[in-house]
Amino acid sequence: MSELVFEVTQEEDGGFCAECLSENIFTQGDTWEAVRKNVQEAVRAYYFDQPETPKRIRLHLVRDELLAGA
């Protein structure tokens, strides 16, 4: 396994939620730096007893923007 991809969304309260697209790994953080750290910790915990771990972790920030009609 070379890479895990996480879809990251920003919550209304300003925090971030990250969900892995290929494994059952989910975490969150109040800031971008916190969610980055929490994703790394969650991946280490998920693979703690596995001989092979992902070489890269990709964070894909998804923005959903609602524009009011003109």
Q: For the whole prediction, is pTM greater than 0.95?
A: no
Contact present, 38 and 19 (Cβ < 8 Å): no
Q: Report yes or no on 67 lying in a domain.
A: no
Pairing of strands 56-62, 3-10: parallel
CATH code of the domain in which 8 resides: 3.30.2390
Q: Report yes or no on 39 lying in a domain.
A: yes
**Alpha-carbon distance 49 to 59, whole Å?**
23
Q: Report yes or no on 28 lying in a domain.
A: yes
Domain extent at residue 43: 3-62
Question: pLDDT per position in the chain (70 positions), as tens?
Answer: 689 999 999 998 889 999 999 999 999 999 999 999 999 999 999 999 998 889 999 999 998 777 887 6
Q: Report yes or no on 17 lying in a domain.
A: yes
User: How many distinct structural domains can be found in the chain?
Assistant: 1
Q: Report yes or no on 68 lying in a domain.
A: no
**Alpha-carbon distance 37 to 27, whole Å?**
10
